[in-house]
Amino acid sequence: MTAQIIDGKALADELRASFKSRVASLAAKGQRPGLAVILVGEDPASQVYVRNKVSACEALGMHSEKIVYAATTSQAEVLTKIAELNANPAIHGILVQLPLPKHIDEDAILEAILPEKDVDGFHAENVGALAQGNPRFIPCTPYGVMKMFEKYGVDLTGKEAVVIGRSNIVGKPMALLLISAGATVTVCNSKTRDLAFHTRRADILVAALGKPRFVSADMIKPGAVVIDVGINRIPEGPDAGKLCGDVDFAAAKDVASLITPVPGGVGPMTITMLLANTIESAERVLKERN
Ligand code: NAP
């Protein structure tokens, strides 16, 4: 079997095109969607992510603000900025790029963002709402994966879904969404005994562990839907430095029925769903105002 490739880039383009009219309509009503992105420090990967987020906003005619602090900036200074952005009506979404430098308490920063502007969906109130099956903002990466299932007609009801990884950003919200969709969900972590036993039972396998090409073809059930969230650099060999996922794509595509590539799979969807959350936030403000 050769799997159908899930084209995350094409789906992201299609969704972004559909957002244009929503942004224009909001702008015409004085509610142009606005996103503020805070970056603390000089992590090169974070710099690229922030730049991409800001330019994605601009491409849609959204308002965006990039706030960059030195790695030595105090927590108090960042909190002051968040309070300012919370009160700014031109800003509908606030995102603090993670990871933060060690002297800054990540939880304190995330909890300071107004839940109504928490477009990453990381505030405890929004995590709780998601867990209750009544989300305000769905974290962008798992939200993008759910859009892929929708686009490719993957019915999750009654399916065995296995998520590798239990992070707050990907694994846990992904599992919650799969539960809400009616799948039977197993969440694996680095302590899981016999990971392959679990993955081989998966009709839906989501790999989010951050280990290059870790999931081999013999860990995949024939005909499974495989979603590769991982973004890694190949450490050595002829492809050293190139991007790859957590799944051995070249071999896995001969076993799976549907599979995401890296790059061009989940990655483009993440920023797209950040735009979606910011637009939804602005639409909510407009609705409340009327
Ligand atoms: P993370 O916070 O490091 O979490 C990794 C998770 O994987 C942890 O729960 C860890 O278990 C588990 N894990 C590690 N090794 C394992 C193993 N051998 N067997 C089973 N589980 C194992 O990472 P993350 O933020 O969730 O990101 C995961 C990957 O997705 C990374 O490659 C990241 O770059 C990528 N990512 C991509 C996007 C995108 O837009 N495509 C967005 C976010 C993240 P423990 O909890 O036991 O340590």
- Catalytic positions are 53, 97, 120
Pocket test for ligand 1, best of 147, 209, 272 (most atoms within 8 A of CB): 209
Q: What is the pLDDT of residue 56?
A: 96
Same domain, 51 and 87: yes
Pocket test for ligand 1, best of 146, 231, 234, 272 (most atoms within 8 A of CB): 231
Q: What is the pLDDT of residue 1?
A: 73
Q: What is the pLDDT of residue 290?
A: 83
Same domain, 235 and 144: yes
The separation between CA 208 and the C-alpha centre of its own chain, rounded to angstroms, equals 11
CA of 164 to the centre of ligand 1 (A): 8
Q: What is the pLDDT of residue 3?
A: 97
- How distant, in Å, are the alpha carbons of 12, 263, 268 from that of 138? 16, 22, 16
Query: Is 269 touching ligand 1 by the criterion CB < 6 Å?
Result: no
Same domain, 57 and 153: no
Residue 211 belongs to a domain = yes
Whole-angstrom distance, CA of residue 123 vs CA of residue 234: 33
Same domain, 187 and 99: no
Q: Are strands 204-207 and 160-164 parallel, antiparallel or unpaired?
A: parallel
- How distant, in Å, are the alpha carbons of 84, 130, 207, 276 from that of 134? 28, 5, 25, 17
* Burial 241-267, CB ≥16 within 10 A → b, else e: eeebbbbbbeebbebbbbbbbbebbbb
* pTM above threshold 0.75: yes
Q: Identify the CATH number of the domain in which residue 212 sits.
A: 3.40.50.720
For the chain, how many structural domains are there in total?
2
Q: What is the pLDDT of residue 75?
A: 98
Q: What is the pLDDT of residue 177?
A: 98
Q: Whose CA is nearest to atom 2 of ligand 1?
A: 167
Q: Which domain holds residue 201?
A: 140-267
pLDDT mean for each 10 residues of the chain (290 residues): 95 98 97 98 92 96 97 98 98 97 97 98 98 97 98 98 98 98 98 98 98 98 98 92 96 98 97 98 94
Query: Is 231 touching ligand 1 by the criterion CB < 6 Å?
Result: yes
Same domain, 103 and 176: no
